Structure 1
Amino acid sequence: MIGRGMAFGNSSITVKEFFLLGLTQQPELQLPLFFLFLAIFVVSIVGNMGLIVLIVLNPHLHTPMYYFLFNLSFTDLCYSSVITPKMLVSFVKQNIISHAECMTQLFFFAFFVIDECYILTAMAYDRYAAICKPLLYQVTMSYQVCHLMIVGVYVMGFVGGMAHIVCMLRLTFCDSNIINHYMCDIPPLLQLSCTSTAINELMVFIVVGVNVTMPSLTIFISYTLILSNILSIRSTEGRSKAFSTCGSHVIAVSLFFGAAAFMYLKPSSASMDEDKVSTIFLYHCEPNVNPFIYSLWNNDVHIALRKNKRKICFLS
């Protein structure tokens, strides 16, 4: 028997396309799940696009906080669009993806997920500057600084995505071409490799370690300082206002990093089917709920919605 880390030599046949097995193979679940995830995808598109349009159209939302929220919605919109369409295909027919398409999907998935980590980090720092250093806020969070932070966010996403792809392109797939997943994710691809995956596993450890540890530590320090500052405020009204400016972001951070921890900190004995189920919240539900988190508890967004309703009514 040939081990996973060994090549097949001259008799090997390099795989040019993959078959995505999908979320489930139970026929009676295919159609209900198709409509469920289609509905989730549509709500995600409408919610994130709506928030993007509101921020663009309303000058009072042209602040650092909403600049980062604009990029968060854009990122959520993109990475759900990278994953969901192919997943929907697997519910209605055989889902075949070429090697090039698979690598492209994996790159953009890694790119946008890493972006989201750092955008949430930038938003935490913005709240720290607004609450703990209010007199210096205009200087600390100038538009030049915000633009540089966002450039840094996308650079980190690009570097992380390229690191995974460069390592993945060195692998040879010459045995099975069936990916036990609904997307081209790293763990199921490594299981199919007939060459050594040691470098890939090391790269996963480095990229995930850096892009989880740095944002988590920054967010933790920011909110520790914010909480300390809020508790020093004597007036109940002042505390309430400070908490309200951070509440939605704390919920979004908790959902994202909580889902990521649940996904990546599972026991190594967990099966691939369990892994597929655990990814659903992070990949599909989390981008769907962010627009509602930031709109339900945000008075500025409520004002923008009312203004745009009036414009629509006037034009009609």
Structure 2
Amino acid sequence: MQFLDFEKPIADLYEQLEKLKENGQKSGVDVSATVKEYEQKIETTRNDLYSHLTSWQKVQLSRHPDRPYTLAYIEKMCTNFVELHGDRNVKDDKAMVGGFAELDGETVMFIGQQKGINTKMRQIRNFGMANPEGYRKALRLMKLAEKFNKPIVTLIDTPGAFPGLEAEERGQGEAIARNLFEMVKLRVPVICVIIGEGASGGALGIGIGDRVFMLENSWYTVISPENCSTILWRTWNFKEKAAEELKLTSDHMSKFGLVDGVIKEPLGGAHVNPDEAAALLKASLKQTLAELKKIDPDTRIEQRIDKFSNMGFFEER
């Protein structure tokens, strides 16, 4: 198990617990009572630690290397997943994945960013940063779902759209803007969930839906704390302050009315118990899909437009 820097008290307790078990095995002494005490202490420390997380610590959790990504959630929640490839124009962008799957017998189109589970796969997946063809593939799959009257679920986890020169040459901005324009008019239910990082237009490119949710330890904003710190202070050293000022966590987004709800994670983050995290997400998706299917498509579209048009607050003088 990998621990983040702020989890050092828990890591120390785990280390002591492992040494205790090892010594017990070597000496043949019954240490079960002491083991239970340590396990209780770990639980108490974890509860204490995770009830006072800062914004930056939640950003760190959203990037945990063991955190489940889109394909892991699909695998744990669904059956008969058939991945679909290519934008029918340039190529198949490995950073954006999607396809039909059965969610307890109901066919759903799942689309999301995929970061990769090891160094080689992260390079192949471009660290979850999609090119224009990734967003065009996503739109193609959405239109396919609409054609067959199947609901759409997008799972968002990206540090941003790929900012390379070649991406700009192929129309990165236009591809994302086209998705926003088309997604708001889709006649099928659309649910969007930020499962990790939700940065900038890279997240918004598949983020227009009837309901937008965030996992508890995810974040959603126009810029990463590091890049914000670099712009304002010309150094990454103020990333913690930037994270706090950006108000990017799920509780902030919920208070601002920019997301419709927050989905709980297992104590310690989704990576501690991916099965439980997937079960919590699945329950929320099923309930929301049932609610959305009762609404007439024209009414749904109208509500979707109103929802995003009314976001934000301002003063006129």
**TM-score scaled by structure 1?**
0.26
Query: Which protein, 1 or 2, shows the higher relative CO under an 8 Å CA cutoff with sep ≥ 6?
Result: 1
- Structure number with the higher strand fraction is 2
- Structure number with the higher helix fraction is 1
